[in-house]
Chain A
Amino acid sequence: MSPLLSVENLRIAFPSRQGPVEVVRGVSFSLGRERLGIVGESGSGKSQTGRALLGLTPVSGTATADRLEFDGIDLRHASTRQWRKLRGARMSMVMQDPKFSLNPVMTIGRQLMEAVKLHGGKSEAHDKSIAMLEAVQIRDPERVMAAYPHELSGGMGQRAMIAMMLVTEPDLLIADEPTSALDVTVQIEVLRILDRLVSERGMGLIFISHDLRLVSTFCDRVLVMYAGRVVEELDARRMSEAAHPYTRGLLNCLPTITGDSRPLPVLARDAAWLE
């Protein structure tokens, strides 16, 4: 089976006074219908990678790749019209904070139904939305449909957001830190919902996060990014066998409930990792 998404030598650059700065420097990977984690610290280029896949690189930046293919469609030369057909319908993105990514002056219901209507299905929009809210385990979907984003808690907002992204049944979901703004217990619930949808609908999921430990318990495969490059690709179950000092450093510097190592081991950065 050919992969759902293949990326080869993705580069993203932004102009600066000292000439263009590359924030993503030659990232390549392919994705089937699986859970792929992309982990890195702030500034490692993980979010920009995710955005570029949807053609959402900010206008000031330029994204180039030797190959950027989604289900046989060359995304590098996609027209605006093609993008409009793809985004939302076949690939979509869940952002970090529901407070900033939901429209504050529209009810959840209107925003959800807008997504359904845009991609065909005017008549069943309402029923589909309700069903989707139930699928993300919102107990009182009618109330949530009528609510404005500010009337919902963070966890509810994020579930509504996930519902909105999934109501069109995309093949690929890019989740950019979808649970970082949530409490641990809510975070696990949201992950469980994502996990079920991936296994039931056979979706491909790219899970972008800074939390290596969480990603290793949730994803099948993990890409570790450092300064715009993938420094290591790992099977999530073999996290303890990580070879790159950066990955090992990231794993070790987290405090644990049971561990009692103090001072905590600190990540010593090596200039050679930039190569």
Chain B
Amino acid sequence: MAFIDIEDLEVTFEGSGRQVRALKGVSLAVEEEESFGIVGESGSGKSTVLRALCGLAPVTGGRISIAGDPVQMPRDQAFYRRVQMVFQDPYASLHPRHTVDRVLSEPLAIHGFDHAEDRVEQALEDVGLGSGFRFRYPHQLSGGQRQRVAIARALILEPKVILLDEPTSALDASIQAEVLNLLDRLRAERGLTYVLVSHDLAVVSHMCDRLMVMQGGEVVEELTREALQAHATAKDYTRNLLTASEGFTRDPALRR
């Protein structure tokens, strides 16, 4: 069995007499220390897979297991020791009135870690911020620095799995490169497993060994990085995504 094993996962949101089936039977398997990507357009359910994995979405069917253990509902502490998430918008995912120190110390206190002081300093060092940032508030940081704090917060519990939901889409291109390099380095150093969700095929292709394309709550296909680079795709949907990612092409008839 794979390290992260999801079978026939279904998520249904209910509200005001309407049901929305966000995931209609999604299965995926991620091996340990692998980096797995999920691509799709808005509304394809790609983020919902991550949210369901860490217990933030109403799962109505299917199974999820990590390292052979089926996950509990609600998730127990041991789960969060093992799985952590980094969210898309660093402007919204950090408490505006908590200092960086407090953001990083809280998970340590909850999970009863010792040497909290040293761990906070180390975590900041690891993401390339340094202890000078320890007593700053989020509004005193740039977008890239905030995302580094969010990554430090996820890493401080020494998890095995990091779920990354569009970790760089709110950042400028040059900052995106820095954050992607940081994530790459951390994975190599610590043997982490990544599940990365993005709408940007180039980011996924850069970061992930294997990827899955989603549309309307279903899996369109699974590809390896090599297959993606060679445009070896069986589905039109994926091909359209690939063409669109290459930029604008003028209709030859309209070219001036």
User: Which residues of chain A have a CB within 8 Å of any CB of chain B?
Assistant: 41-42, 154, 183-188, 191-192, 195-196, 199, 210-214, 216-218, 249-250, 253-260, 262-267
Contacts and interface: CB of A to CB of B under 8 A. Distances in A.
- Name the residue among A214, A218, A264 with the largest chain B CB count within 10 angstroms: A264
Given A214-B248, A217-B248, A264-B180, 20 more contacts: A183-B41, A184-B244, A185-B41, A186-B41, A192-B248, A195-B250, A210-B172, A216-B247, A218-B248, A250-B173, A254-B177, A255-B207, A256-B202, A257-B202, A257-B246, A258-B205, A262-B181, A263-B184, A266-B181, A267-B177
Interface string B130-157: 0000000000000100000000000000
B93 interface: no
A267 B242 CA distance: 26
B254 interface: yes
Nearest to B39: A184
Nearest to A219: B248
B12 interface: no
Contacts of A186: 41
Contact of B177 (A191, A196, A257, A265): A265
> Which of under 10, 10 to 19, 20 to 34, or 35 or more describes the interface residues of B?
35 or more
SS class of chain B's interface: helix, strand, loop or mixed?
helix
B254 A196 contact: yes
A214 B177 contact: no
6 contacts: A185-B41, A188-B244, A217-B248, A255-B180, A257-B246, A259-B206
Interface string B156-186: 0000000000000000111011101100110
Contacts of B199: 183-184
B170 to A, nearest CB: 10
Given A41-B173, A250-B173, A264-B181, A255 B202 contact: yes
Contact of B185 (A154, A210, A263): A263
A254 B244 contact: no
B203 interface: yes
A217 B229 CA distance: 20
Contacts of A267: 174, 177
B256 interface: yes
- Name the residue among B228, B240, B245, B251 with the largest chain A CB count within 10 angstroms: B245
A271 to B, nearest CB: 16
Given A184-B199, A196-B254, A263-B185, A210 B173 contact: yes
Contact of B254 (A195, A210, A258): A195
B203 A255 contact: yes
Contact of B206 (A249, A262, A266): A262
A257 B184 CA distance: 16
